[in-house]
Structure 1
Amino acid sequence: MDNKLKKSLKFSVSIAVITFVLAAIFSVISNSVMSGVVWGIGLVIVLVIVFTGVVFDMLGIAATAASEPPFHAMAAEKIPGSKEAIIIVRNADRFASFCNDVIGDISGIVSGTASAVVVIQIANTLGHSDGSSVQITLSVILTSIVAALTVGGKAVGKFLAINSSTKIIFFAARVIAWIEANLKIKILSAATKNTRKSR
């Protein structure tokens, strides 16, 4: 089997496992939080989840649209975040896969589940039982709103990602650099190894 194909399959399997674990964790957390709050706060949580998906989708696209030279110039001046930005761009396929496919898709699934919980909470508040026409109508309306915000938000995100890729990736890189320096969480450690091997 070709070496590149082996690496691709290995990465695909690891991403699938990570997605499974994160989806389970996020689903449990969201359901636990949603069950203990009023529907108004639940609706805000749904919007936050949708916004998270939109932002990560934008980051993934920006990584594939960005180029290295601007960050090399920053690295020469030892600007914080420039090295992380280079790593992101060099590993754009993996970074985009994680942002778009893992976080983006999980956000879509979790927002759908959370929306269903909000619908039930609103229906109960209005005194309507499960399966009532009011609950069905609420479900259709809320699902449509979430879908519209997701698609519309990603459309705007794509435009920004393509036209401001350098600024977006540099901002993300600075956030990652801060997290790695202050919280000691090595977000780009695996990517760093791959980058060093490819030099």
Structure 2
Amino acid sequence: MAKNGQRALRQGMLTGLGAFFLALVVNFGSQGLLSSLTSIILSFLLLLVIILVGIIFDVVGVATTAAKEAPFHARAARKQVGARQAIQLIRHADRVASFCNDVVGDVAGTLSGAVGAVMVTRLVAGGMPAPELWLSTVMIAGVAALTIGGKAFAKGFAIREAEAIVYRVGYVLALVEVHLGLRLWQDNHKRGRKT
């Protein structure tokens, strides 16, 4: 029991540390890109991309926890590209969901709020005839509506299409392994879910 508690604590600390560095890198990049964008329309497109990334990773996290491992064994036996990686995703569903939903999802949510705040400042500085408080409130509400509404819609899709989504992600990971030589997990047939 104590060993499981230590493992959970270590995983939580690593997740938090990963989120910290990911937020630093992505925030630095997005703020640099935002400062070079002079058009409010391009800034809005950047905001939409950040929200969309959060939703896509949320879909992957939910699908990984909902997918069953058994259908992928037949694909792996037929040597279908991505089947082995899909099995590994499902066997590590807790870590995948934590990374996709907690790390990337929360970082995307925080960044979308920061980008929205910068856009409000620009609108006010550009002479927008509306109070800053009103603009900030509308921007925050809009970002929240897009994020929450998008994730609510996407969750149902992720559960219905869990196997197809996990297979597509596994396929992408297989391409990454082949072309970049990066492997997320070693195959371990004794661990993980069998259902």
Normalised TM-score (structure 1): 0.90
| 1:94 and 2:111 aligned | no
Q: Distance in 2 between matches of 1:46 and 1:180?
A: 31
Residue aligning to 2:164? 167
Contact 1:63 1:165 in 2 (8 A): yes
1:196–1:15 CA distance, 2 compared to 1 (3 A) = farther
Deviation at 1:3, TM superposition (A): 1.9
- Paired letter, 1:166: E
Q: 1:85 and 1:95 mapped to 2: Cα distance?
A: 11
Q: How many residues align?
A: 191
Detail structure 1 runs of 4+ shifted over 6 Å in the superposition.
none
Query: How many Å apart are 1:142 and its aligned residue?
Result: 1.7
Q: Distance in 2 between matches of 1:182 and 1:64?
A: 27
Give the whole-Å Cα distance in 2 for the aligned partners of 1:75 and 1:150: 35
- The amino acid of 1:42's aligned partner reads S
Taking the aligned partners of 2:181 and 2:124, their CA distance within structure 1 comes to 45
1-structure distance, mates of 2:189, 2:77: 18
Q: Does 1:57 align with 2:58?
A: yes
Alignment-mate amino acid for residue 171 of structure 2: R
Report the 3-state secondary structure (helix = DSSP H, G, I; strand = E; otherwise coil) of the residue aligned with 1:198: coil
Match of 1:107 in 2: 108
Note the alpha carbon deviations across 1:68-114, whole angstroms, 9 max, x for none.
01111100110000000000001101100000000000000011001
- The separation in 2 between residues aligned to 1:162 and 1:20, in whole angstroms, is 29
Q: Report the 3-state secondary structure (helix = DSSP H, G, I; strand = E; otherwise coil) of the residue aligned with 1:79.
A: coil
* Contact in 1 for aligned 2:58/2:151 (Cα 8 Å): yes
> Do the aligned partners of 2:50 and 2:112 also contact (CA within 8 Å) in 1?
yes
CA distance in 2, matches of 1:75, 1:176: 14
Residue 10 (1) aligns with residue 10 (2): yes
1:180 deviation in Å?
1.9
Aligned CA-pair RMSD: 1.7
- Corresponding residue of 1:24: 24
Cα distance in structure 2, aligned partners of 1:18 and 1:41: 29
Shift of 1:135: 2.3
Partner SS state of residue 25, structure 1: helix
Stretches of structure 2 that go unaligned for 5 or more consecutive residues are: none
Aligned to 2:117: 116
Distance 1:77 1:196, change over 3 A: closer
Instruction: Note if contact 1:60-1:96 (Cα within 8 Å) is conserved in structure 2.
Output: yes
The alignment-based identity, stated in percent, is 36
Give 1:127 shift: 5.7
- Deviation at residue 197 of structure 1 after TM alignment: 6.7
Name the stretch that deviates more: 9-18 or 99-108: 9-18
Residue type of the partner of 2:82? G
